[in-house]
Amino acid sequence: MRGLKIGHQMGLKKVLVYSDSLDAINILMRDCPMNHPLRNIIGETRDLLFNDSNVELHHTSRNNILCADYMAKEGHNVADGVGVVTTSTIPQGCLHLALRDQSFIQG
């Protein structure tokens, strides 16, 4: 959710969201049970997804998003857990993964 908010604040023209969790995608695309412990966060995330036509949500294998997996692990070392990475600021340890992932995403 925070990443979508940042993208909106940055005025990004198009945001592609890839996840290896089909459960996460399904709960965002369908109604969430009233008693779900994360219902409020899921609702806010859905608002960001559906109110901004520039966001696309995709399911893929973790093997196709290795750079995202790498950065998620590295994010545990970031003070507030959120960092902005652009094509010009991809961490050196992730650059080869990003190039590999790009070939899967562009198909």
Nearest Cα neighbor of 85 from 72, 96, 76 is 72
Would you list the domain boundaries of the chain?
1-59, 63-107
Look up the pTM and report it.
0.73
Give pLDDT, residue 50: 82
pLDDT of the chain, 107 residues: tens digit per residue: 778 888 888 888 788 888 889 999 999 988 788 899 999 999 999 988 887 668 888 888 888 888 888 887 877 777 766 667 777 778 788 888 888 888 877 65
Give pLDDT, residue 37: 94
How far apart are alpha carbons 68 and 71 in whole angstroms?
5
Give pLDDT, residue 42: 92
Dihedrals φ, ψ of 22, to 5°? -65, -30
Give pLDDT, residue 66: 86
Q: Residue 72's CB: how many other CB atoms inside 10 A?
A: 11
3-state secondary structure of 71: helix
Give pLDDT, residue 61: 87
